[in-house]
């Protein structure tokens, strides 16, 4: 059955269509906003896998280049591995819908959001979230939706619903808000030091818009929605759970009071082995069930202590207490900047590499080509959590965490005109027990300052957790891994003293009100200030100079019509400049020149030569040039790369010159003045015009000497007149 519906949002219409294509999927929807269209499908296997003890959900966001009328680059001319935008959009769809699948549903489930048309004005990631919710809502797949997603921008003091790409270029905020029943399910975005009150206002604006999107999906469900599948409850052998609990008694509580993560993990593993050894005869092949039961008991124990007693967290801290912090900078001698940030049992080693324009990352998306001059790469090696696994490329989690930290720092970086470098940060997580992405923000901020990058100020971040039971709840600052695992919220907030720069909220419950978010932001602000105080005691501002090992870069801009003169015929002039100065020189089509060298002297030398090359020649201009060749009528002098002029023999000196080589030779540097430029562009120079006046008596003696040399009568040999 073909069904269509639409509403207006942000001055444009958003529409659903289903029943016409992809009919063999369990649920499929084409969602359109402007001329951007996304096909979203949802499919779940009919039978649960016996090996699944967790919900196997896969989400793929795919951009087809034909959507923007393009052919993929590269040799194969077809889409390959997912780009970073596709990975981040996949995560953005996954995170809000994952907690809305009911407990016990273990069928393999796949969501595919395929961009069919891109108008290069409306971002398709929001449509992917809404489309995934709609496809699941009308399918027979159990799903506790629908949800609504809205992007909010902030331009010139005004909030904008679903801003276009061009509006986002001017926006101080790019915030994606996902709502279910007026409860916040997910927040994701970057800001330019905005106040906490602006975040709250953006959420309040998004809620009624999300309601309209949810209502449209509910109409869709009422018209064509299928009956949801029956979930087979998780089968625990009769008496097994009670037996495990009897064996454990107080052991779980003791484990939850063990502060050290490694000791706690070892204790859990030992407990699982001991319990299974006791029951394996009566309940064979139940190792996984034992793990699930113990995990559930630990969860209840932790939550009861925090909500009921509010005395201690797993590692012994109070609700607002932040783990001990230790900062070091400049720990790696040969890198351009480095910092080690340790918070509790989470540790990030951050390094800075400064590159040139050749190191920029070229990005090709549906919206067009662009370049990145700032990159942050996050790595999570297995030893950071005491595990072994193959070392492969970064996964979705690593890319997501790196992107979050990158956005947190972007707003404090200097503009290219002030700092013409490509900046790459690498965060290697050496230890992890929660909030490693926020440790990356803190460590990277210190490393930037250590490298001498003139950032505006320091940036810090932390994660706020939540334990909520009915109306009672408790906020937890700087959560560790177990508090994330057993808790209800992971709310990462990064920023400066002036405001928020990046935000990411994931939740497992559908009961997050605006008031709870407001309280969490206030607690995050206090924690952020505390961390910034500690970071400032280590390094408060950027170092005055760059590392000796960093390249030296000078940027300059020349008129476009001068580019040809700098390059020269066949690139001859610029190659010569590079050879003479030892600097790398790059020229863009708009006249921007990048001069790169290992030392500042050669870079300055190249700049001076380029300035000479583009200097307008006018009569009276003075240059120091090199004699390139001589003739019987004068000397040719190169006054700038590729530009020669003639010093006529009469202009070589104030006195009369008999031979050019008497005054100058090839290779000599001489000071000259431009005398004239004739109609054919030939440059006539004068050395005589810039020579200091000589002593008149010397000039007279020189004149007499030259006169005598030429006209003095030479003695003649006497003829022998003797007779024979």
Instruction: Give the pLDDT confidence of 8-40 residue by residue, as tens digits.
Output: 998 999 999 999 999 999 999 999 999 999 999
Q: How far apart are CA 556 and CA 530, in angstroms?
A: 41
- The pLDDT of residue 710 is above 70: no
- The pLDDT of residue 247 is above 80: no
% the chain with pLDDT above 70: 95
SS3 of 406-417: the string is HHHHHCCCCCCC
Average pLDDT, the chain: 89
Mean pLDDT of 287-294: 86
Q: Please state which of the ranges 79-83, 88-92, 248-252, 403-407 shows the lowest mean pLDDT.
A: 248-252
Mean pLDDT of 180-200: 95
Mean pLDDT of 355-364: 87
526, containing H or E segment = helix 514-538
- The pLDDT of residue 706 is above 50: no
Contact 647, 658 (CB under 8 A): no
**pLDDT value of residue 695:** 53
- Cα distances from 158 to residues 148, 161, 190, in angstroms, run 22, 10, 17
Judged by DSSP in three states, 624 sits in strand
**pLDDT value of residue 310:** 60
Q: What is the pLDDT of residues 571-587, one digit of tens each?
A: 888 898 899 888 988 88
- The pLDDT of residue 698 is above 70: no
Q: What is the pTM of this model?
A: 0.85
Q: How far apart are CA 212 and CA 201, in angstroms?
A: 18
Q: Please state which of the ranges 63-67, 282-286, 540-544, 553-557 shows the lowest mean pLDDT.
A: 282-286
Please classify residue 109 by burial: count the beta carbons closer than 10 Å to its beta carbon, then call 0-12 exposed, 13-18 middle and 19+ buried: buried
Ordered strands of the 422-431 beta sheet: 325-329, 337-343, 346-355, 422-431, 374-379
Mean pLDDT of 683-704: 68
% the chain with pLDDT above 90: 60
Q: How far apart are CA 652 and CA 609, in angstroms?
A: 24
Q: How far apart are CA 313 and CA 300, in angstroms?
A: 13
**pLDDT value of residue 448:** 98
**pLDDT value of residue 555:** 87
- The pLDDT of residue 709 is above 80: no
Dihedral, CA of residue 83, residue 86, residue 90 and residue 91, to nearest 10: 60
Q: What is the pLDDT of residues 472-492, one digit of tens each?
A: 999 999 999 999 999 999 999
Q: How far apart are CA 360 and CA 374, in angstroms?
A: 8
- The pLDDT of residue 701 is above 80: no
**pLDDT value of residue 48:** 81
- At 508, give phi and psi (nearest 5°): -105, 0
């Amino acid at each position: 059955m073909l069904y269509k519906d639409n509403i207006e949002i942000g001055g444009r219409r958003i529409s659903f269509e289903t029943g016409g294509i992809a009919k063999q999927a369990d649920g499929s929807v084409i969602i359109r906003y402007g001329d951007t269209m996304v096909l979203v499908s949802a499919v779940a296997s009919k039978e649960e896998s016996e090996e699944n003890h967790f919900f196997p959900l896969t989400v793929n966001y795919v951009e087809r280049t034909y959507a923007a009328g393009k052919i993929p680059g590269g040799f194969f001319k077809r889409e390959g591995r997912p780009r970073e935008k596709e990975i981040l959009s996949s995560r953005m769809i996954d995170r809000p819908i994952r907690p809305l699948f009911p407990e016990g549903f273990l069928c393999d489930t796949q969501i595919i959001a395929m961009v069919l048309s891109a108008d290069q004005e409306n971002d398709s990631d929001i449509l992917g979230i809404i489309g995934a919710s709609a496809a699941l809502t009308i399918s027979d797949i159990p799903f506790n939706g629908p949800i609504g997603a809205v992007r909010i921008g902030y331009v010139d003091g005004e909030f904008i619903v679903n801003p276009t790409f061009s509006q986002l270029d001017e926006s101080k905020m790019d915030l994606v808000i996902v709502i279910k029943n007026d409860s916040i399910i997910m927040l994701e975005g970057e800001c330019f030091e905005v106040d906490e009150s602006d975040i709250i206002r953006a959420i309040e604006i998004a809620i009624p818009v999300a309601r309209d999107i949810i209502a449209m999906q509910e109409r869709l469900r009422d018209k064509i929605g299928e009956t949801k599948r029956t979930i087979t409850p998780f089968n625990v052998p009769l008496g097994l759970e009670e037996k495990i609990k009897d064996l454990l008694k107080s052991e779980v509580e003791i484990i939850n009071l063990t502060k050290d993560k490694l000791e706690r993990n070892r204790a859990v593993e030992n407990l699982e082995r001991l319990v299974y050894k006791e029951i394996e005869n009566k309940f064979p092949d139940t190792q996984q069930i034992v793990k699930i039961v113990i995990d559930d008991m630990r969860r209840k124990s932790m939550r009861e202590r925090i909500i009921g007693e509010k005395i201690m967290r797993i590692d012994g801290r109070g609700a607002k207490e932040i783990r001990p912090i230790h900062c070091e900078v400049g720990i790696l001698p040969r890198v351009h900047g480095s910092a080690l940030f340790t918070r509790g049992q989470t540790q990030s080693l951050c390094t800075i590499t400064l590159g040139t324009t050749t190191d920029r990352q070229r990005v090709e998306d549906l919206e067009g080509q662009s370049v990145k001059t700032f990159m942050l790469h996050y790595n999570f090696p297995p030893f950071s959590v005491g595990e072994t696994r193959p070392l492969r490329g970064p996964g979705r989690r690593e890319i997501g965490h790196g992107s979050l930290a990158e956005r947190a720092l972007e707003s404090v970086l200097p503009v290219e005109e002030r700092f013409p470098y490509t900046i790459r940060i690498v965060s290697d997580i050496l230890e992890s027990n929660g909030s490693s992405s926020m440790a990356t923000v803190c460590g990277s901020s210190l490393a930037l300052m250590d490298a001498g990058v003139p950032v505006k100020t320091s940036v810090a971040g932390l994660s706020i957790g939540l334990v909520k039971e009915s109306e009672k709840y408790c906020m937890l600052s700087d959560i560790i891994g177990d508090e994330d695992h057993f808790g209800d919220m992971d709310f990462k907030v990064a920023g400066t003293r002036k405001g928020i720069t990046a935000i990411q909220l994931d939740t497992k419950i559908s009961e997050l009100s605006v008031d709870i978010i407001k309280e969490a932001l206030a607690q995050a602000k206090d924690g952020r200030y505390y961390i910034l105080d500690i970071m400032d005691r280590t390094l408060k501002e950027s170092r005055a100079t760059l590392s000796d090992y960093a390249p030296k870069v000078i940027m300059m801009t020349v008129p476009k019509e001068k580019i040809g003169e700098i390059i020269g015929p066949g690139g001859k002039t610029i190659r010569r400049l590079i050879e003479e100065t030892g600097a790398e020189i790059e020229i863009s089509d708009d006249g921007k020149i990048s001069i790169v060298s290992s030392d500042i002297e050669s870079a300055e030398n190249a700049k001076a030569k380029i300035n000479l090359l583009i200097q307008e020649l006018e009569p009276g201009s003075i240059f120091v040039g090199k004699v390139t060749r001589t003739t019987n009528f004068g000397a040719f002098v190169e006054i700038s790369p590729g530009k020669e002029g003639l010093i006529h023999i009469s202009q070589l000196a104030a006195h009369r010159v008999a031979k050019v080589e008497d005054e100058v030779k090839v290779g000599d540097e001489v000071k000259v003045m431009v005398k004239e430029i004739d109609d054919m562009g030939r440059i006539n120079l004068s050395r005589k015009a810039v020579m200091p006046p000589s002593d008149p008596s010397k000039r007279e003696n020189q004149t007499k000497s030259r006169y005598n040399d030429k006209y003095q009568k030479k003695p003649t040999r006497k003829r022998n007149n003797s007779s024979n």
